[in-house]
Amino acid sequence: MRYTMLLLTALLGAGAFGQNLGEIRGRVLDPDGQPLFLANVYTKVAGELVGTTTDMDGKFVLKPLPPGKNGITISFAGFKTKEMSGVEVVPDRATYLDDQRMAYIDAIGEVEIIGYKRKLIDRDDPSRMSLLASEFEDDPTRKNPIQFISKNFAGVTAAPNGDGLYFRGSRTENTATYLDGIKIPGSVPNIPPSAISSISVYTGGLPARYGDVTGGVIVIETKSYAEVYEERRRMNLASDRMDQ
């Protein structure tokens, strides 16, 4: 009963105070490799436009963004508009894009569409590894948090009794789980996979906010309104196509 109340408190607290947001950083260059000043960089979050422009060095920071996949558009007069699909944002971290070199327009209305693949390990924090919901939606172990985490994150193994996790030798009692920023005592909570936005694991070099933990840290973020909105929008579009 106590565990259930703690879990409910965590979920309610998450709804009241919101989730950790992320950001996308990058640099835009002209065809000659020179920084492009005041290029437009934008995306849509729950139907609303979120945008920024590049600085004198061609750099930009696009924020705040909820965890999940985002389609990024870069535009500048005289150059092809560049669209990048599936740029994945991780909570409380920056996603870095490779330098984006624009191309001159050969015909009116040309758009360059490119793909994006996120790296599991964060360049700012190599001790942290993250997975987004879209990356484990087909994983058969996703309903068992112990099996799922030990399978997908290097340096983490399941305890012999299957009731905990060892982080690079640290015992399971030295591990902490945070659900939407709230510390959950005991074993890893069994959250429905459909409600999870991302799972991050720290195997060392813990940030100061986890200073009382001597082993590893598991950070689970549940889906935001923006993510639920986007999922439903895509499902409705797919349903409409099937009905046509």
The number of distinct structural domains making up the chain is 2
Report DSSP state, residue 66.
-
Do residues 209 and 89 share a domain?
no
Select from 58, 90, 114 the last residue of a domain.
114
Do residues 212 and 129 share a domain?
yes
- What residue numbers bound the domain in which 135 lies? 2-15+122-226
Task: Locate 117 and state its tokens.
Answer: 């693949």
Do residues 46 and 10 share a domain?
no
- 200 domain-assigned: yes
Q: What are the pLDDT digits (tens) for 80-108?
A: 999 998 888 888 788 899 899 999 987 55
Select from 85, 114, 143 the last residue of a domain.
114
Q: What are the pLDDT digits (tens) for 144-168?
A: 888 898 888 888 888 887 778 888 7
Tell which phi-psi region holds residue 61, choosing left (phi > 0), alpha (psi between -120 and 50) or beta: beta
- 189 domain-assigned: yes
For residue 69, give the nearest of 235, 230, 236, 237 by alpha carbon.
Answer: 230
pLDDT at position 6 is 40
CA 186 – CA 35 distance, rounded (Å)? 51
Kindly write down the DSSP assignment for every residue of 73-131, as one continuous string.
EEE-TTB-EEEEEEEEE-TTSEEEPPPEE--B-SSTT-EEEE-----SB-SS-TTEEEE
- 244 domain-assigned: no
Q: What is the CATH number of the domain that holds 168?
A: 2.170.130.10
Do residues 102 and 130 share a domain?
no
Do residues 109 and 128 share a domain?
no
**Res. 10 pLDDT band, cuts 50 70 90:** very low
Reported pTM: 0.59
pLDDT at position 192 is 87
CA 53 – CA 61 distance, rounded (Å)? 8
Do residues 49 and 106 share a domain?
yes
**Res. 2 pLDDT band, cuts 50 70 90:** very low
Residue 126 has pLDDT above 70, yes or no: no
Do residues 11 and 26 share a domain?
no
Residue 9 has pLDDT above 50, yes or no: no
Q: What is the CATH number of the domain that holds 49?
A: 2.60.40.1120
